[in-house]
Amino acid sequence: MESQQGEGGTELDSQSSIWVNTGGNKMAALTTGFGRARQGGAGDPREYKAETAAGGDKLGGGGGGGDRGCSFLRKVSVPGSGGGGGGGGGARLRSIAGTRPSVQNGQLLVSAGLPALDQLLGGGLAVGTLLLIEEDKYNIYSSLIFKYFLAEGIVCGHTLLVASAKEDPGDILQELPEPLHDDNYKKVLDEGRSHKSQEEPEISMKIAWRYQNLPQMEAGPGTSSRFGHYYDVSKRMSQEVIQSAKWHKFFLPEEITSYANVESCALNHGYTKLLHFIQRVISEQGFDGSNPQKKQKNILRIGIQSLGSPLWGDDICCADTPEHMHSLTRFLYVLRGLLRMSLSACIITVPSHLIQNKAVTSRIRNLSDTVVGLESFIGSEKEANSLYKDYHGLIHIHQIPRLNSLICDVSDTKDLAFKLQRKVFTIEEIKTSNSQSPIFSHGYHIALCSLCGPLNKFIKRIFVF
Amino acid sequence: MLQILASRGDLVLLRDSVEWEGRSLLKALIREVALKGEQVQVLGCEVSEEVFREGLDSDTNSRLVYHDVFRDPQGWTGNWGPLGILRACLRGAEPGPCTLAVDSLSWLLLHAPCSALCQTLRALGHDNSHPGRVRVLGLLHEDVHGPGPLGALRSLAQIEVTVGGNLGFTTAQVFHPKPRHRSIEQTYWFSILPNFSLEFHKETLLEPRPHRGPQSPTVDAMADLTFNVHLSKKEREARDTLALPFHFSSEKQQSLLHPALASSTSQIFYEPDADDYLDQEDPDDDLDI
């Protein structure tokens, strides 16, 4: 194989297999087929006489090399970015603050505000999807997760849209938790863990000693890139931060002033107004790409509280045979369409413990992308169970979406419980004092992940490509 | 009991049933509030005004502002339905802390859609002319309704009082859910005197109890297993001293290096077969070690 190096380019002979460009940029590419590419340095006009094996592969990027005949190169569409073959979402979307591409399927993810919940949902919440939280009985912990989501939006600089029928959205924003810095978080977490460690001494493992130092559920700050943030629930977010955030509000009693039963046959009056409002915000602020001159792309975080409760004018929670059973399901269908065509992520809390008709509950779950259910122990007989004495409730991950892939990253353990300490909200697996099962489950989890990764990519290339 | 009811901006749900009625407790609470000098708005739907005012002393009666729906349940004389009257209750009230007693929410539920009632109650509690100082006491007959409307009203209420009775005394179980195991659940034993004052009894043991039913013994997940989960001390010691198979300990090393001598049981007897080819030459002899 002959290769001749110019100042920043290479010349590739035919029938060569591997070449390395060691000029200005270092990149290795595997090529198949025949081709000849000649490149100069940046700024020289490029001329190629190449026969492409797979048609339509375009090259971009100043100086980013690649052979025309290669079908495994990713499409790079932004000139001058220099990051040829970057993340699956494309180089320009990566520049939105507070997002990152998923390692499983390349979707753009935003954090849900709780790093433990992000881990359970497969890295985060995908942009354009809907997170449904089935409320616990007195709506104490689900409103906390709702506030975490909004607080994360403010910290990342996203635009918020808060809709509620019960509380004024301004009051909701006043109650957001305060973000913690890295060193503070370690102290706070150790406070919480010190109570536990006094009860059970750490059992050092003799057989599986390599797994002893694995993190339990959530990674501490600093282990990965700055994706999720940590919050202190006992303090409120400061006023300057809240005021610097950009947000839109929808408060139902202010929007609907007359209490007459004005309902269109398809949708509840309140739902129709909310959908119009969301659609207006998306198109006016350019979240759906309708303003191409917009210099900086941003994410819209939508939060709707207690949807389907009687305060929205819907009766699926109050009646056994509701009159407008399809109102909420139609709303979710239209909302998901709005989300898919814009750069937004939405969280909805639904009091599904009040819905009597189980068919409606399963329809609502099918229409959402990610479904998380909370079950608190307040006032229930589970409070007396010794297995649950350290926790405040159970958390059930009912559904995780399979976006552009055949497999989703479902956590292998189904016994998850949450606990609200004074400052943090933690999610853990339920451990009995004698069992070492969390360690084993971690081992299986790692094995499964390493298997699913390449398998996932393989399937994606064959079926979806 | 009344200090719990002292919080404002709340919906307090008084749930009674066929076994024990709750209207007398409602009147007793109204009397307590009126004795503090507050005005009480009453929406009476189920009994007539005379029956309601009966038994209350004149001080209380003077502070009661009664809105009567019982006389005209269908609203033929006025233009407002029952919900309209509910909303209008607070319009004539003097500014300041205000209490609204609804005689019964069950009657309103039967005559108005549940979602509209919930919206109205929420709007009342957050009325702009009395910001954060309206308290709504609602009487609800829980056996009249299905789990749907009952659950909807319970989720709207901040405090629930369940009225019951036992041995001639009235009990009230007060439940106020709060996060982190800090919910307030207390049971009060009292009797209501003919003038609707409350007399608390010494059986008022303010112990927090589980809200549902009698106290069940704590379930031990480790009991009734068919296998032994716990280790005795001797067993634990034996486990600790057990040599693991893949640990290359020094004893094993010694036993490999120096084969045991008195091993009459471990000799190998070999009888060569006719087909076996025994090569006397050892190929390792060529090695030069």
Domain ranges of chain A: 99-180+247-429
What whole-number distance in Å separates Cα of residue A188 and Cα of residue A185? 5
B231–A contact, CB cutoff 8 A:
no
Q: A with B: how many residue pairs have Cβ under 8 Å apart? A: 112
Please provide the average confidence, as pLDDT, over all residues in chain B: 79
Chain B residues touching residue A383 (CB < 8 angstroms): 181, 210
Question: Under an 8 A CB cutoff, do A386 and B212 touch?
Answer: no
Chain B residues touching residue A386 (CB < 8 angstroms): 218-221
Give residue A363's pLDDT band: very low, low, confident or very high (50, 70, 90).
very high
CATH number of the structural domain A99-180+247-429 = 3.40.50.300
ipTM above 0.90, yes or no: no
Buried b (16+ CB within 10 A) or exposed e, A165-192: bbbebeebbeebbbbbeeeebeebbeee
Whether the CB-CB separation of A100 and A109 falls below 8 Å is answered with: yes
Partner-chain residue, chosen from A259, A314, A381, that has the shortest CB–CB distance to B212: A381
For residue B196, give Cα distances in angstroms to A260, A464, B60, B265: 40, 75, 11, 98
Return the higher-pLDDT residue of A285 and B277: A285
Which of A354, A391, A350 lies closest to A371 in space, CA to CA?
A350
Low-confidence winner among A320-324, A337-341, B100-104 (lowest mean pLDDT): A320-324
pLDDT of residue A194: 58
Chain B residues touching residue A147 (CB < 8 angstroms): none
Chain B residues touching residue A321 (CB < 8 angstroms): none
Partner-chain residue, chosen from B152, B221, B230, that has the shortest CB–CB distance to A318: B152
Give residue A215's pLDDT band: very low, low, confident or very high (50, 70, 90).
low
Q: Which residues contact A424 (CB under 8 A, 6 or more apart)?
A: A188, A189, A192, A230, A231, A232, A233
Low-confidence winner among A160-174, A229-243, A309-323 (lowest mean pLDDT): A309-323
- What does the block give as tokens for B92? 């004539």
The H or E element spanning position A398 is: strand A393-399
Partner-chain residue, chosen from B146, B179, B185, that has the shortest CB–CB distance to A420: B179
Chain A residues touching residue B222 (CB < 8 angstroms): 432, 434
Question: Under an 8 A CB cutoff, do A315 and B114 touch?
Answer: yes
Question: Under an 8 A CB cutoff, do B148 and A320 touch?
Answer: yes
Residue A123 confidence (pLDDT) above 70: yes
Q: At what angle do helices A269-285 and A327-340 cross, to 10 degrees?
A: 0
B190 strand-pairing partners: B170, B200
Work out the number of other CB atoms within 10 angstroms of the CB of residue A136: 28
Residue A159 confidence (pLDDT) above 80: yes
Say if strands A37-38 and A47-48 run parallel, antiparallel, or are unpaired.
antiparallel
Looking at this protein, which amino acid is placed at residue B189? Answer: W
Give residue A146's pLDDT band: very low, low, confident or very high (50, 70, 90).
very high
pLDDT of residue A51: 37
Q: How far apart are the CA of B149 and the nearest CA of chain A, in angstroms?
A: 4
Return the higher-pLDDT residue of A71 and A352: A352
Work out the number of other CB atoms within 10 angstroms of the CB of residue A14: 12
Tell me which chain A residue has its CA closest to the CA of residue B228.
A434
- What does the block give as tokens for A75? 């499409």
Query: In a 10 Å sphere around its CB, with 0-12 CB exposed, 13-18 middle and 19+ buried, how is residue B205 labelled?
Result: exposed
Return the ∠ at Cα A454 (arms to A449 and A460), rounded to 5°: 115
Residue A10 confidence (pLDDT) above 60: no
What whole-number distance in Å separates Cα of residue A405 and Cα of residue A461? 10
Give residue A307's pLDDT band: very low, low, confident or very high (50, 70, 90).
very high
Give residue A148's pLDDT band: very low, low, confident or very high (50, 70, 90).
very high
Cα A212 → chain centroid: 29
pLDDT of residue A248: 94
Please provide the average confidence, as pLDDT, over all residues in chain A: 72
pLDDT of residue B8: 64
pLDDT of residue A84: 36
The H or E element spanning position A442 is: helix A437-459
A273 strand-pairing partners: none
